[in-house]
Every structure is written in C-alpha cells, then in structure tokens.
Structure 1
C-alpha cells in the first residue's frame, strides 16, 4: 500500500465554505442527524468526480483474482466471468488471464465500470457473488500507481501487486518532460 503521507489532500469542504452551520437535530433512530435538503442532487450520481475519468477507458477497473493452480477457484472464476457477461453485458469484460499479467500477481479477469449507476449496481452484486475470490477496485486517473494502491479498495484478501511497471512509466515520463 502506498504511504498516504506521499500525497496531498484538498479539503473535503472545498466549495462548501462559509455556509450556515448544520443542525444538530437527531433523526428518529437516535443515532444519525437530520440533514437539510440539498438544492440539487450531487453530480456524483451522474458522473465520476475528478480526476476519475468519465471517458472511454472507464472510471473504475475491477480485477477479480483466482489461483490458477486451484481447479475449484479456476472453475468458479470462469463461471463468475460468464455470469457477469450475461447479467451485465453493458460493462467491458476482458478475457480471463490464466497467469499473472501486469502488476497482478495471479490469474484474473477485469471489468470496467463507466458511470456511477454501473458502479452502484455491480459492486454490491459482486460483494454477494464473488465467492472465495478477491477483487481489487480502483479508479482510473492519470496516476496509475496511486490508483492501484492508495485509492484502491479490496474485497476479500488483498494481494501484493508488482508496482515496478508504474515506477518505470513515471520515471520515463519524467525523463521525457
């Protein structure tokens, strides 16, 4: 995992400065607060927030891993891949790799999500249906190493990624600047 101290973080309140204080009224459940109604729904319901891409690459990648030496996991992964293709045909679903590829340490397949609606439908579905498999969910921005580490979310057991390729790309970009 990337060291969070390597990055800067803008204030979450940017754009919400100098507003009236929020009420302290508790909701009926006695644990949450009553929030004032928003003037309009957050744009995050319609498109991914910057710097996540909303283009052809897809805003999020989901890598679903399995041990290629385990027959049961391999069979389950192939069945899951087929089910995803049938139930979510609008997503980009890559082929099943039966070996490590790129920074990924074991066999896997990848699914791309293009908008918040797809993310909101697919991720809860995957939580229930991924079985014994681990999944890495990461945004796509212009910082691949950070996307795969500090901004990543794991379902199941996290796996160590090989980050060398990202470091080499970043170094070559720096040399060519």
Structure 2
C-alpha cells in the first residue's frame, strides 16, 4: 500500500506560485543556495500541517518494536521505555506490549507526539538512543492505512504490518 501511484499529491508550490524567481547566488560553503528571508517563519514550526492532527490524539505516533523472544531486546526495550518516560514526560507513552497487537507483528510500545517542537526533540534523540530496536513513525490523519504505509517513516528494520485491519 505504499505505492505512490495509489494516491494523489497536491503541488508543493500551492500558495507559492507567481512569486519572483529565487536567486541563484551560492553561499560561502560553495554548495548551498542563499535563500531570501521569509516574512515570517513557517506555521509548521508551531503546528502540524493539515491533515495531521493537532488535537489530543497527537500529530504523530512512534511505535518502537522489539522481538519479544530475544531477552537482550526485552531488557533494552524496558530500559528505553523508562528513559523516555523520565526524559520526555510530556509525551504520551503507552505500556509495553509483549506480543503482536493491532497491525504490529511483534512486541512494541507507542509514543504520541503533540507538537512540532516535541517531534524535533524526540525523533533525533530516538535516532541515537534506540539501539537495536526499530521504530515506525507515522502521522495521525483520518487515513490510517495511508498513515501506516505511504506516509510512514522507518528507523531500522522495517516490519510488515497487517494493513488489512484498516478498512478502505
């Protein structure tokens, strides 16, 4: 279901058409372009872009997977879960499921992220601290199948999800 041809995509330039051309001046690093200053920062710094949820369910879910039959991963996931609860108490952190649940084929726990600032802090932290575990990061829109497939991002080993649980 992650086949992009199954979906439509609005132009990324929607709302930015008919503007003056961008400059071609190269910055001091010799590789990147110098961008003109924006009138104001992007709203994406303050809230998630539509159709991502900006409500109590959270804009993003992070599912952190482990093989429940591997004792070293069971120990590691418990330690990671505790550390996340201590360092990121503002996030919603679910209990550890020691068996497959929902579309998830192995044990996991879930973390909900509510703001772009939380996303910007937690995801880089997880990149460094997830150890041998895999993580699925997906937005929360009203299209669960697409959120868990075409819009999903993976860290580490990708697990096949049972997308048949999502109707549509």
TM-score (normalised: structure 2): 0.99
In the TM superposition, 1:28-177 aligns within 5 A as 28-167=28-167, 170=168
Moved more, 90-99 or 158-167: 158-167
2: CA distance between counterparts of 1:13 and 1:151?
A: 19
> How far is the alpha carbon of 1:164 from its aligned partner?
1.1
Deviations 1:126-174 (A, max 9, x none): 000000000000000010000000000000011100111103xx3xxxx
Moved more, 1-10 or 105-114: 1-10
2: CA distance between counterparts of 1:132 and 1:66?
A: 8
> How far is the alpha carbon of 1:2 from its aligned partner?
1.8
What is the aligned partner in structure 1 of residue 11 from structure 2? 11
**Richer in helix (by share):** 1
SS of the equivalent of 1:117 reads helix
Structure 1: unaligned runs, 5 residues or longer: 171-177
1: CA distance between counterparts of 2:46 and 2:13?
A: 20
2: CA distance between counterparts of 1:164 and 1:9?
A: 23
2: CA distance between counterparts of 1:53 and 1:8?
A: 20
SS of the equivalent of 1:121 reads helix
Cα-Cα RMSD: 0.6
2: CA distance between counterparts of 1:21 and 1:50?
A: 27
TM-score (normalised: structure 1): 0.94
Aligned positions, number = 168
After superposing on structure 2, the runs of 4+ consecutive aligned residues of structure 1 that deviate more than 2 Å are none
1: CA distance between counterparts of 2:40 and 2:2?
A: 36
Structure 2: unaligned runs, 5 residues or longer: none
